[in-house]
């Protein structure tokens, strides 16, 4: 007998996806992970389907066999340093549209897609789902924005239930090592200099475990349309770096101003979280201090394990 709630999860082994699995299981979902990179040691009760999402024929066969009731689409190419302007963004729009059609054509009931803060006009003081214009400055943001508009219009005509989660600056265990927080953390733990910009920009940082819990909360709700997934607190990057230095005891290795500030970098990206907190009563479990402590602890264990394996 099939479970009452079966979710098709893309990007399950990625930075965000792996954190959603426990939350989905806790809410009674049967989880079917699809993608090219399966878990080497999959979580208990996870069904894996190793396919290329670009293979429309095989993807449709899997969806037909599973008959998922829910879809959580997190997969995308987010290679650090490249994804902002990569032409693969165009491919992912096409893949996502085919996935959307196949899911609802085979009886899907509810879907959530991962959007981004890069869809917004960054010149605004606060980035709000209702009041802030959409004016993406990058190809990545443009691709996500276009996908949102397409599935929203199609969904309205068909009566499909769709949520669009605009993710802000996430951090935590399993993040790509080239990203800011892992880069600084690993450099300091390994006794290397962390070459940083001036750190003056302010960003909304959210622990990935909180983001995963928010995504599952949205999926399990009746919310339709865009919703910010963020902490609601905007913090200078230099404060984040200083906290990591405090946690590692290596203030001496932090080199602020060693990298130039990009001329088009927005000074502040603050998220409104009124919908997430008021409509869905969502409260993050991690504040920034606890979240960074958790992250540094995880990286310390990873680096210790790696060093031990090379002895």
Q: What pLDDT, in 10s, does the model give residues 24-78? A: 999 999 999 999 988 888 888 999 999 999 999 999 999 999 999 999 999 999 9
In this prediction, residue 93 carries a pLDDT of: 98
pLDDT band at 1 (very low <50, low <70, confident <90, very high): low
**Residue 245 and residue 219 share a domain:** no
Say how many domains are in the chain.
2
CATH code for the domain of 183: 3.90.25.10
**Residue 190 and residue 160 share a domain:** no
CATH code for the domain of 161: 3.40.50.720
Is residue 58 included in any domain, yes or no? yes
**Residue 211 and residue 199 share a domain:** no
Predicted confidence (pLDDT) per residue in 84-110, tens digit: 999 999 999 999 999 999 999 999 999
Instruction: Find the mean pLDDT for residues 206-233.
Output: 98
pLDDT above 70 for 244? yes
d(CA 205, CA 273): 13
**Residue 151 and residue 15 share a domain:** yes
- CA 219 to chain centroid, in Å, comes to 14
**Residue 71 and residue 218 share a domain:** yes
Portion of the chain with pLDDT greater than 70, in percent: 98
**Residues 211 and 284: beta-carbon distance below 8 Å:** no
* β-pair partners for 227: 165
Is residue 276 included in any domain, yes or no? no
**Residue 242 and residue 146 share a domain:** no
Instruction: Find the mean pLDDT for residues 116-143.
Output: 97
pLDDT above 90 for 262? no
**Residues 270 and 125: beta-carbon distance below 8 Å:** yes
**Residue 181 and residue 249 share a domain:** yes
DSSP secondary structure string for all residues of the chain: ---S-EEEEESTTSTTHHHHHHHHHHTT-EEEEEESS--SSPPTTEEEEE--TT-HHHHHHHHHHH--SEEEE------TTTTTT-THHHHHHHHHHHHHHHHHHTT--EEEEEEEGGGB-TTSSSB-TTTS-B--SSHHHHHHHHHHHHHHHHHHHHT-EEEEEEE-EEESTT--TTSHHHHHHHHHHTT--EE------EEEEEEHHHHHHHHHHHHTS---EEEEES-S-EEEHHHHHHHHHHHHT-GGGEETTSSPPPTT--SEE-B--HIIIIIS----S--HHHHHHHHHHHHHHHHHHHHHHT-
**Residue 179 and residue 109 share a domain:** no
**Residue 220 and residue 138 share a domain:** yes
**Residue 114 and residue 13 share a domain:** yes
In this prediction, residue 206 carries a pLDDT of: 98
**Residue 136 and residue 10 share a domain:** yes
pLDDT averaged over every residue in the chain = 95
Is residue 25 included in any domain, yes or no? yes
Is residue 280 included in any domain, yes or no? no
Query: Which domain covers residue 90, as residue numbers?
Result: 6-170+207-229
In this prediction, residue 40 carries a pLDDT of: 84
Instruction: Find the mean pLDDT for residues 276-304.
Output: 97
**Residue 129 and residue 181 share a domain:** no
Is residue 255 included in any domain, yes or no? yes
In this prediction, residue 307 carries a pLDDT of: 59
pLDDT band at 305 (very low <50, low <70, confident <90, very high): confident
């Amino acid at each position: 007998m099939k479970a009452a709630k079966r979710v098709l999860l893309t990007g399950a082994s990625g930075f965000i996806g792996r954190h959603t699995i426990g939350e989905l299981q806790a809410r009674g979902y049967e989880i079917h992970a699809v993608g090219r990179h399966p878990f080497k040691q999959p979580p208990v009760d996870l069904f894996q389907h190793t396919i290329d999402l670009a293979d429309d024929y095989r993807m449709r066969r899997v969806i037909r066999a599973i008959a998922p009731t829910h879809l959580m689409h997190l997969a995308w190419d987010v290679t650090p340093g490249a994804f902002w302007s990569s032409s693969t963004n165009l491919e992912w729009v096409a893949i996502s549209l085919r996935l959307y059609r196949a899911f609802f054509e085979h009886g899907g009931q509810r879907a959530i897609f991962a959007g981004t803060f890069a869809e917004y006009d960054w010149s605004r003081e606060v980035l709000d789902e209702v009041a802030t214009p959409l004016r993406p400055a990058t190809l990545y943001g443009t691709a996500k924005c276009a996908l949102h508009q397409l599935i929203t219009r199609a969904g309205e005509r068909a009566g499909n239930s769709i949520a669009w989660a605009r993710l802000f600056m996430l951090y935590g265990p399993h993040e790509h090592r080239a990203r800011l927080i892992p880069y600084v953390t690993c450099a300091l733990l390994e006794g290397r200099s962390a070459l940083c910009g001036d750190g003056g920009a302010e960003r909304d940082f959210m622990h990935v475990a909180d983001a995963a819990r928010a995504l599952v909360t949205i999926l399990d709700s009746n919310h339709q349309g865009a919703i910010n997934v963020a902490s609601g607190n905007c913090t200078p990057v230099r404060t984040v770096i200083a906290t990591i230095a405090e946690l590692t005891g290596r203030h001496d290795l932090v080199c602020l101003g060693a990298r130039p500030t990009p001329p088009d970098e927005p000074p502040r990206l603050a998220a409104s979280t009124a919908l997430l907190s008021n409509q869905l009563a969502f409260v993050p479990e991690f504040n920034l201090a606890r979240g960074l402590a958790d992250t540094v602890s995880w990286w310390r264990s990873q680096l210790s394990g790696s060093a031990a394996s090379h002895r």
